[in-house]
Amino acid sequence: MKGLKPLLQKIAKLRILVVGDVMLDHYIWGDATRISPEAPVPVVDIARDSWTAGGAANVALNIASLGARCTVAGYFGLDDAGQRLTTILHGKRIATVTTPGAAPTIVKTRVLVQHQQLCRLDREAPPTAYHVPTAKAESLLAAEIAACDAVILSDYAKGILNDDIVDRVTALARKAGKFVALDPKPRHKLAFHGLDLITPNKREALQLAGIEPLPHTRFPAAEVCAQLHARYATRNLVITLGEDGMLLSKSGKIVKTIPTAAREVFDVSGAGDTSLAGLVLALTAGATLETAALFANAAAGVVVGKIGTATVTPEELVAYVDKQP
């Protein structure tokens, strides 16, 4: 990838605001050598616990890891999990904006046995518990939007983002001339229009386009891109295709498909967050859509080679790209 180091230098001067569903990722590491006498399930001997930021907070971690400044706005509960999540983010020099409420912090606990995920345990309240009045959200975010170079709306359908919040944040960002990106969750059915970037995966793109694919048929890329542009008028569209790479589209037309950069895949947790962070950083730094996709694809290629929700540093990215054919 040409021009990587100059691009990273431009990225280091950026400030990004992430708004969305923050959560704490908890990992229980252990081993299982026997079946419980109480039920046909493995007995896990716990070796250690670890915690990191998940959801929108993981997008923020990836932005900071790649060298840019970042602020993340979301719901941090007044509990041990909220305090732990805040401490993790502040430790990476990520500023936090807390929305009001009395709900628990969202926590995802993954049990891993010999680096294989055995199960996941989720702690969260109903989405209504995380809703924020639009006026309150606007007062919390207006100064942050004015100070940033780009806004990322990271939707995990947990309740922070709704139509009013998306509409108001987008309006404030547009007025200030800021880049706006959304990672959508179609089951949430957010109303959005005219954004600079959306980054659905293959399944999400089909749902957003209202297309029900026939079994054993190829992904209808041209139809999906045309439908998404007609419905949402997004300037740039990047559909993540998993092992097939990334599909790039502008104005409803296919630009290119970028093959995946990953050579070894250990864990795809958070890879979408890494891709989103990389795309927004590169595009905001002035890169073309193709260059931004190559940058994001390489960053995700590093992350999936690690266990658990992970990030990538500029040094790791340069070393990874230098090794590619």
Residues serving a catalytic function are: 273
Among residues 40, 46, 200, the alpha carbon closest in space to that of 110 is found at 46
C-alpha–C-alpha distance, residues 68 and 90, integer Å = 14
Structure tokens at 158: 């947990």
C-alpha–C-alpha distance, residues 155 and 79, integer Å = 23
Strand order in the sheet with 42-55: 42-55, 22-35, 107-113, 116-123
Q: How far is CA 288 from the centre of its chain?
A: 20
Angle at 184 between CA 283 and CA 273, to 5 degrees: 55
Which letter does DSSP use for residue 174 in this model? H
Chain position carrying tokens 């969750």: 185
* E strands, the chain, in order: 15-20, 22-35, 42-55, 69-74, 95-98, 107-113, 116-123, 150-154, 179-183, 197-198, 236-240, 246-250, 253-258
